[in-house]
């Protein structure tokens, strides 16, 4: 009896489910209140937290840079293309900001190649890309932990005859607001104007 | 990396480990305590254990790391969670063990648990089961949803668990060993129809991924791959894993149902006639 009861209602139940599902789907895909160029990652990722060393060789944590909009980027100083292009673009985006806003943004460049990237080497490298950039690195387990926290990874290729090796890493720029909440994921193909637009929106929103 | 690193979970989930331990614990203790004549044979026990183990392996070993950073490994993970693992578990027919434990539940508890049975009955309506089975694959592979699921640890776990649980429901509906002639299980014709529909719908999606010229799933590009594999190759392999094995599984399922239907042809006629007589 019960089976027949359910069988008779299959159509109604399935129609209702289809309706609910389609409502949910349009709800998921339809609304994006902010006009961000980056991908909105609010609520998808944990707050900015790390335990690394800076280019002066001092231990630092996420709190040391709080109060500013932060852009987290993984890379390595021997990187032939992705890192220099991205860092240069970030530098152009921030240096084009109103001077009063420039200090509100900080780029955190995390080298995932601690074997080659000593703090001194890292300091020289980041200085080349402007003032508002900090070079960070750490022991491999610390870096692995940070990468895992932000759902990314890195890997080392076999060294060539001259001892050089490539490092695979995320090409994304993770943007955190002043409180350290994850806000945007920027793909490196965004233009500096698009990046600047998002940064200004984030700075002004918090101020 | 040592062997232990490969066997330990990449993303430790106590709830997942506890669930697997409970399942294996209840299955094992049930097997030992149940009367010998009800106990499943060793092949069935092996199939059940293998099904559970491969699902565990893709969720709580180093495999999960590669599944998070490679599209095709991720597709392989879902092939196991949504198809192969649940198929092995359903074919192993753990019903006797479940009956054994069900008999131990006190009547009061059974009464409390009745809503679960209602939910189960709704989910096992053929159309709803098909909608959920195929719908979940489409849902989690919808590019923007997929992007979010790979970025958020919570969503990622919801995705994998929903695939596993739905896989179990669906393949249990299909491979339910109770003959439909004398029980409430789904008729063989309907089972085959559901399988055929599921196969065709999955082939559409798989073919779309395989033949896409653009990068559909660029989250692996943005967040880095586990090793430097050409993104197009990764997407092609992932598409093929969505396209071919699920379609094959549907056909195998249909053949198995045909075999069962042929074996049971005429077997229950006398009994159903008797039932009809008593009913009238």
Chain A partners within 8 Å of B147 (Cβ):
39
Q: Rounded distance, CA B208 to CA B71, Å?
A: 15
Q: Does A141 touch chain B (CB under 8 A)?
A: no
From A154's Cα to the closest Cα of chain B, the distance in A is 7
Contact partners, residue A116, CB within 8 Å, separation at least 6: A76, A77, A78
Chain A nearest CA to B191, separation (Å):
15
B183 → chain A, closest CA residue: A3
pLDDT at residue A1, as a whole number: 44
Is A169 annotated in some ligand binding site? yes
Report yes or no: A24 at the B interface, CB cutoff 8 Å: no
Residues of B in contact with A172 (CB under 8 A): 222-223
Q: Are A71 and A138 in contact (CB under 8 A)?
A: no
Q: Which residues of chain B have pLDDT under 50?
A: none
Beta carbons of A41 and B151 less than 8 angstroms apart:
yes
Q: How far apart are CA A80 and CA A27, in angstroms?
A: 42
For chain B, give every domain's residue range: 3-103+112-266
Question: CA B68 to CA B150: how far, in whole Å?
Answer: 7
For B186-202, give one letter per residue: b (16+ CB within 10 A) or e: bebeebbebbebbbebb
What pLDDT score was predicted for residue A13? Answer: 56
Segments forming the whole domain that contains residue A85? 39-206
Domain count across chain A: 2
Same domain, A75 and A108: yes
- Bridge partner list, A73: A109, A173
Q: Are residues A25 and A100 in the same domain?
A: no
Is residue B183 less than 8 Å (CB to CB) from chain A?
Answer: no
Domain shared by A56 and A137, yes or no: yes
- Nearest by CB to A14, from B127, B145, B184: name it: B127
Is A45 in the same domain as A26? no
Displacement of CA B182 from its chain's centroid (Å) = 26
Dist. CA A192–CA B28, nearest whole Å: 61
- In degrees, rounded to 5, the angle at the alpha carbon of residue A185 between the alpha carbons of residues A55 and A169 is 55
Of B135, B221, B224, the CB nearest to A21: B135
Say whether both A202 and A104 belong to one domain.
yes
What the block records as the tokens of B280 is 């009238």
* Residue-level pLDDT at A207: 57
Binding residue per annotation — A197?
Answer: no
Q: Is A195 found in the same domain as A114?
A: yes
- Cβ distance of A155 and B127 shorter than 8 Å: no
Per DSSP, chain A holds a count of helices (H) and strands (E) of 7, 10
Per DSSP, A165 falls in state: -
- Does B223 sit within 8 Å of A170, measured CB to CB? yes
A81 and A149 in a common domain: yes
Q: What's the CATH code of the domain at A183?
A: 3.40.30.10
Chain A contact for B28 (CB, 8 A cutoff) = no
Burial of A59 (0-12, 13-18, 19+ CB in 10 A): exposed
DSSP B36: G
> What would the pLDDT profile of A133-173 be if each residue is shown by its tens digit?
999 999 999 999 999 999 999 888 888 888 888 888 888 99
Within an 8 Å CB–CB cutoff, is residue B117 touching chain A? Answer: no
φ, ψ dihedrals at A129, nearest 5°: -100, 30
B135-193 tens-digit pLDDT: 999 999 999 999 999 999 999 999 999 999 999 999 999 999 999 988 889 999 999 99
Q: Which of B155, B184, B224 sits opposite A170 (nearest CB)?
A: B224
Judge if A76 and A116 occupy the same domain. Answer: yes
- Statement to judge: residues A148 and A94 lie in one domain: yes
Residue of chain B whose alpha carbon sits nearest to that of A28? B145
Is residue B38 within 8 A of residue B32, CB to CB? The reply is no
C-beta atoms of A13 and B227 within 8 A:
no
Find the radius of gyration of the CA atoms of chain A.
Answer: 22
Q: Do B221 and A171 touch (CB under 8 A)?
A: yes
Q: Cα separations (Å) of B156 from A129, B5, B132, B150?
A: 36, 21, 18, 6
Using an 8 Å Cβ cutoff, are A60 and A53 in contact?
yes
B127: closest CA of chain A, how far (Å): 7
Alpha-carbon Rg for chain B in angstroms: 21
From the number of C-beta atoms within 10 Å of its C-beta (0-12, 13-18, 19+), residue A122 rates as buried
How many residues appear in chain B?
A: 280
pLDDT tens string for chain A (207 positions)?
445 544 555 555 555 656 566 555 554 544 446 689 999 999 999 999 999 999 999 999 988 998 899 999 999 999 888 899 999 999 999 998 888 888 899 999 999 999 999 999 999 999 999 888 999 999 999 999 999 999 999 888 888 888 888 888 888 999 999 999 999 999 988 999 999 999 999 998 855
Q: Is residue B230 a contact partner of residue B238, using CB atoms and an 8 Å limit?
A: no
Cα separations in angstroms, A174 against A182, B4, B22, B87? 7, 32, 39, 40
Report ipTM (2 d.p.).
0.80
DSSP string, A30-81: H---S--SSEE-TTTSPPP--EEEETTS-EEEGGGGTTSEEEEEEE-TT-SS
Q: What are phi and psi of B99, to 5 degrees?
A: -60, -40
Residues A193, A143 share a domain: yes
- A200 in the same domain as A107: yes
Question: Two tokens at B214?
Answer: 């653009």
Per 3-state DSSP, what percentage of chain B is helix, strand, and coil (rounded to 5)?
Answer: 80, 0, 20
Q: Could you write out the three-class secondary structure of B212-273?
A: CCCCCCCHHHHCCCCCCCCHHHHHHHHHHHHHHHHHHHHHHHHHHHHHHHHHHCCCCHHHHH
Distance in Å, alpha carbon of A45 to nearest chain B alpha carbon: 6
User: Are A72 and A1 within one domain?
Assistant: no
Question: Is residue B243 packed enough to be buried (19+ CB in 10 Å), middle (13-18) or exposed (0-12)?
Answer: buried
């Amino acid at each position: 009896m019960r089976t027949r009861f359910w069988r008779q209602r299959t159509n109604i139940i399935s129609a209702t489910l289809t309706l609910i599902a389609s409502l949910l789907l349009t709800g998921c895909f339809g609304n994006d209140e902010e006009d961000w160029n980056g991908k909105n990652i609010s609520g998808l990722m944990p707050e900015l937290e790390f335990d690394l060393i800076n280019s002066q060789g001092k231990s630092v944590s996420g709190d040391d840079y709080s109060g500013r909009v932060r852009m987290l980027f993984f890379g390595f100083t021997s990187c032939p293309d992705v890192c220099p292009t991205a860092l240069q673009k970030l530098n152009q985006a921030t240096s084009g900001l109103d001077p009063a806003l420039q200090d509100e943004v900080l780029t955190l460049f995390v080298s995932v190649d601690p074997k080659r990237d000593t703090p001194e080497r890292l300091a020289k490298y980041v200085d080349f890309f402007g003032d508002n950039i900090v070079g960070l690195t750490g022991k491999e387990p610390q870096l692995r932990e940070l990468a895992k926290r932000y759902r990314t990874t890195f890997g080392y290729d076999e060294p060539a005859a001259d001892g050089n090796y490539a490092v695979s890493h995320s090409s994304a720029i993770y943007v955190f607001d002043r409180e350290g909440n994850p806000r945007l994921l920027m793909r490196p193909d965004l233009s500096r104007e698009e990046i600047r637009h998002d940064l200004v929106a984030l700075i002004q929103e918090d101020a | 990396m040592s062997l232990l690193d490969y066997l330990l979970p990449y993303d430790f989930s106590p709830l997942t480990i506890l669930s697997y331990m409970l399942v294996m614990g209840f299955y094992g203790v049930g097997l030992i305590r149940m009367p010998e004549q009800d106990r499943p044979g060793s092949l069935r026990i092996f199939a059940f254990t293998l099904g559970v183990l491969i699902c565990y392996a893709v969720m709580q070993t180093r495999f999960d790391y590669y599944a998070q950073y490679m599209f095709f490994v991720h597709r392989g993970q879902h092939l196991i969670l949504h198809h192969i693992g649940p198929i092995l578990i359903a074919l192993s027919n753990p019903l006797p063990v479940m009956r054994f434990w069900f008999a131990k539940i006190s009547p009061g508890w059974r009464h409390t648990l009745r809503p679960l049975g209602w939910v189960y009955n709704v989910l096992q309506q053929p159309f709803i089961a098909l909608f959920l089975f195929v719908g979940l694959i489409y849902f989690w592979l919808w590019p923007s949803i997929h992007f979010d699921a790979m970025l958020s640890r919570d969503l990622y776990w919801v995705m994998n668990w929903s695939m596993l649980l739905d896989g179990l429901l669906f393949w249990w509906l299909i491979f339910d060993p109770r003959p439909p002639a004398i029980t409430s299980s789904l008729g063989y014709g309907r089972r085959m129809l559901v399988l055929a529909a599921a196969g065709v719908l999955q082939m559409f999606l798989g073919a779309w991924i395989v033949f896409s010229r653009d990068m559909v799933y660029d989250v692996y590009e943005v967040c880095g791959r586990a090793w430097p594999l050409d993104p197009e190759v990764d997407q092609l392999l992932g598409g093929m894993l969505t396209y071919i094995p699920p379609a094959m599984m549907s056909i195998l399922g249909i053949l198995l149902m045909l075999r069962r239907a042929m074996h049971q042809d005429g077997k229950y006629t006398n009994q159903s006639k008797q039932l009809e007589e008593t009913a009238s």
